[in-house]
Structure 1
């Protein structure tokens, strides 16, 4: 096998024309799928929940596609290649987080809600303040998650086309953002779900092929692979031991671990996937499929990450366009030359497109369904003073306009987040989700006394504290790798806010509830219990 020099990555090392051709083929195929799927997007249920038409296995594969984002493939492989054991903690955290989501909230949320997370949170509480708070936290979580995907897209395509520098990567991020807007405007949830399914199959297949290839080069011995990684790593044997990245500050590791383990159960775009199946039984089937696919993939990242460290080297990875996020594509180039590099990078690009499409439709649904339809439209009056009938077509129109706004904001944010490890950026999104959404979700599902004040305090308090701590952390300013390197406003020493903001969200939810004298409806609380456990009436509107 010809070994391709990896000291630098330029257009000489790969074939930009071939790469662009593979990219164009992927975009053309996925656009065809989106256009085909969009023919039945006539109602809000079609646009937001794909008409609840997917089977359990189909939705399980789509859930895996949503969850196995660019962070899972690019960010984690890079983190393991550079930081070894500490990088693999992302894989462990993401997988354990999925188990928490399945055991505590997934089926109960699906049974109780209609289109969005706010349907559940406002079921037995006051609609207006809770829906507004839930919509704002959903938009915030989706925005942080979008930052990671857009930054990953810039680094990936720049590597593939030999583009270096912030201006070139910024143009790439803009192109990805425009494509994302087109996908969601045309396809809605149905088109997005089919893209997720295709992408998940290709991503897992590509990861399996690369894993077998790496193991074959090392005699199918994991021990031989790890020895090669130690020999190649500047850190030596420290790459196999805990502490290479987080040893200097174990509190940072604890904060990261809390965010990873608890974050998934509060991610609105993952929870929204459960509304696309027709019954609770199909929701459970989708869970089984998803957990096997996700668990298997995260085991593969161990081999891929250490394989990149052994065959490519941490120094070459960090020097490449895209930095640490380029480990998996560089490993593909080392193994199979330009063709495998083009295929794997195109799969990663499809991964990014599919995930940002899912995030965007979740954010758009939250604004259009929760704020426009259930707050603004609810207050609309006819000329005679009577309540005006809701306009379902207007709701979908607003959702489509929201998609364009979110796409523009994602492009601007992705340009600002260039150079950050995308697995790390996703961890920030997980921290915001665990702080702002998870406490209210759990209290709503399991605590009958929980009331509107507790929900509002929990969501705004968790969200506000998480964002403040991120802004005043080393992630945002104070170093060359920060999002805004030119200033220094660091007041909080940890990179992840979870250790403070997550407990604070739970405390504020409890405190707001016990200090409020307003009693919520016991009948609605009982109805929510029945619906969450049985799924009875889950397809009906959650009006009260």
Structure 2
């Protein structure tokens, strides 16, 4: 039997199973996931014993090595978008879906070259520490906290939507109420992880998750290639045969159908490549290592692990197209997000499905925990401690506020996730990247590299980038205008902005606003603070003392 015939046989079996009921055994899936939760919860409890100070809760006491932190960064970065969303995007749109993998990976070079070491040298816990270092503290910290909370919210939407789709597939839940309940349970677990473990517990969960995810994806990749005689060309032939669509091998299936879609692709690329260097929850990871050298080492480790994983997504995406079929994936609960679990079922039956789904669920839990602690730290450290209490909070008060903030963020994330359920998670994450690149990146770059930059320029850049990105998203096809929109009806249509990703407009606008307002601003910032920031960011002198506060 040829590789193509073997793929067709498996495809027929999976399609029949998916049509009759949910694939796999629900109780087996729940048991495997429950085992993961129990093991990681024990680790979180053990890690939480030393959470006594703000440095312990926010930055894990800066006790992780570069390799450990690099693994945790990979765990933070390889979200439901990477595993569920990209595999589904490749299975359905082929080459154009793989553009997500390329964008997410190339983005790390920007993070490494532009921000990793400089941020570690300059800040203490959050992105706002860097942005307010030589600018006026109060307005810049408030702006940075707002942008952090908004970016984290959009990222959380993606993870919650992934959770809803995954468990809907595993348990055969098709009604909205059941899916909403699933998202609520995920949110409750997320809150528990962060409340108990802080950054240290969250980091260990992310390290474990990264190892499991890369190992699980690696096993599936080798399995798919083995079915096709370890011949990637045979795999592509199987995918074309199963889908009946040779266009999945060519550029343009999604982003080449019109001039608007081509512009949308450029906008997506800008958001993906520039967004990583401005994601608050990724930037915060650089503070969990003791030195700038370890921060650099973290990024190198992360690039290797993330790069290997994104190579796997190419094989898994086309493997899902060949062995499951685009139509079966699109019709399953969760839509495109179900491609990876259905491929696992096609390869190894109920057990592998349960194992891979548990890993995917762990992925979601670890990422939402990282996002939540970042958002809570931003509010407690930047708003409460630095603005409300003017840098002098009562002992332990900052961590208490952070924990209360976790509860609020968890509830908001649950409600938002219910609203975003059914959307492709890779696509939703791209929106978070666009907002981060618009609201945060220009100010980060200007603060680190432009001595003339002023507080007014920072505020106009941050608020201008944030507001323009959100307004463009609201009036885009993402929210209304079709059955694929968040408002799932064509009757409601206020999509006057034609692009699905706002990056091509909002990112240059934010850079431009920061430059124009700074050039028009007659005020000057403190030259001593500017010099101190330049020396510290480039050499690390003074950074170690600051981190011990």
User: C-alpha deviations, 1:379-401, integer Å up to 9, x for none?
Assistant: 9xxxxxxxxx4314111000000
The corresponding residue for 2:255 is: 246
Q: Does the 8 Å contact 1:123/1:542 carry over to 2?
A: no
1:524 is aligned to: 529
The answer to whether the Cα contact below 8 Å between 2:87 and 2:317 also exists between their aligned partners in 1 is: yes
Which of 430, 434, 438 does residue 431 from structure 1 map onto?
434
Asked if structure 2 preserves the Cα contact closer than 8 Å seen for 1:9 and 1:159, the reply is no
Cα distance in structure 2, aligned partners of 1:542 and 1:43: 12
In the alignment, what sits opposite 1:338?
A: 350
2:165 corresponds to: 155
Conserved in 1, the CA contact under 8 Å of 2:23 and 2:170? Answer: no
User: In the alignment, which residue of structure 2 is the partner of 1:75?
Assistant: 85
Offset, 1:10 = 5.8
Partner of 1:491: 496
Secondary structure in structure 2 of the residue aligned to 1:495: coil
> In the aligned structure 2, how far is the partner of 1:197 from the partner of 1:542?
23
Deviation at 1:9, TM superposition (A): 5.4
In structure 1, the residue matched to 2:445 is: 442
Q: 1-side partners of 2:31 and 2:21: how far apart?
A: 15
TM-superposed deviation, 1:6: 2.3
Q: Return 109-118 or 11-20, whichever deviates more.
A: 11-20
| C-alpha contact (below 8 Å) 1:119/1:542 kept by paired residues | no
Q: How far off is 1:122 after superposition? A: 0.1
Instruction: Find the aligned partners of 1:438 and 1:533 in 2 and give their Cα distance.
Output: 18
2:509 is equivalent to residue 504 of structure 1: yes
Q: 2:404: which partner in 1?
A: 401
Partner of residue 385, structure 2: 373
Match of 1:122 in 2: 132
Q: Contact 1:368 / 1:395 at 8 angstroms: preserved in 2?
A: yes
- Provide the residue aligned with 2:143 in structure 1: 133
Q: Does 1:420 align with 2:426?
A: no
Deviates more, 1:284-293 or 1:497-506: 284-293
Aligned residue among 433, 452, 455 for 2:455: 452
After TM superposition, list the pairs within 5 Å mapping 1:25-424 onto structure 2: 25-234=35-244, 236-247=245-256, 248=258, 249-378=261-390, 389-424=392-427
Q: What are structure 1's unaligned runs of at least 5 residues?
A: 380-388
Work out whether residues 11 and 161 of structure 1, in 8 Å CA contact, stay in contact via their aligned partners in 2: no
Q: How far apart, CA to CA, are the structure 2 residues paired with 1:474 and 1:34? A: 41
**Structure 2, gaps ≥5 residues long:** 1-5
How far apart, CA to CA, are the structure 1 residues paired with 2:530 and 2:242? 59
Deviations along 1:101-146, whole A, 9 cap, x unmatched? Answer: 1111111111100000000000000000000000000000000000
**CA-CA distance at 1:517 after TM superposition:** 0.9
Number of residue pairs matched by the alignment: 534
Q: Indicate if the aligned counterparts of 1:264 and 1:430 stay in contact, CA closer than 8 A.
A: yes
Shift of 1:533: 1.0
Q: What is residue 383 of structure 1 aligned with on the other side?
A: none
2:468 is equivalent to residue 465 of structure 1:
yes
Quote the Cα distance in structure 2 between the aligned partners of 1:166 and 1:217: 37
Give the whole-Å Cα distance in 2 for the aligned partners of 1:491 and 1:439. 27
1:493-522 deviations in whole A, cap 9, x for unaligned?
000000100000000110111111110011
3-state SS of paired residue (2:40): helix
TM-score between the two structures when normalised by the length of structure 2: 0.95
Paired residue for 1:481? 484
Is this contact kept in 2: 1:114–1:540, CA < 8 A?
no
**Contact 2:112/2:296 (CA < 8 Å) preserved in 1?**
no
Q: 1:259 aligns to what SS in structure 2?
A: helix
Query: How far did residue 485 of structure 1 move?
Result: 2.7
Counterpart contact for 1:9–1:162, Cα < 8 Å: no
> SS at the partner of 1:6?
helix
Instruction: Please name the residue that 2:544 is paired with.
Output: 539
Paired with 2:239 and 2:22, the residues of 1 have a C-alpha distance of: 26
Tell me if the contact between 1:180 and 1:356 (Cα under 8 Å) persists in the aligned partners. Answer: yes
Give the Cα separation in 1 of the matches to 2:319 and 2:542.
50
Rounded to whole Å, the distance in 1 between the matches of 2:446 and 2:478 is 31
Is residue 184–residue 360 contact of structure 1 (8 Å, CA) maintained in 2? yes
Equivalent residues of 1:141, 1:432 under 8 A apart: yes
Q: Secondary structure at the match of 2:389?
A: helix
Looking at structure 2, the residues matched to 499 and 478 of structure 1 have their Cα atoms a distance apart, in angstroms, of: 21
Cα distance in structure 2, aligned partners of 1:311 and 1:54:
41
Aligned-pair distance for 1:233? 1.5
2:541 and 2:126 map into 1 onto residues whose CA distance is: 18
Say if 1:34 and 1:187, in contact at 8 Å, map to a contact too: yes
> CA separation in 2, counterparts of 1:211 and 1:60?
23
Tell me, what secondary structure is at the counterpart of 1:115? coil
What's the CA shift string for 1:301-324, capped at 9, x where partnerless? 000000000000000000101100
3-state SS, counterpart of residue 115 of structure 2 = helix
**Secondary structure in 1 aligned to 2:396?**
helix
CA distance in 2: counterparts of 1:481 and 1:407, whole angstroms: 26
Q: Deviation of residue 543 (structure 1)?
A: 12
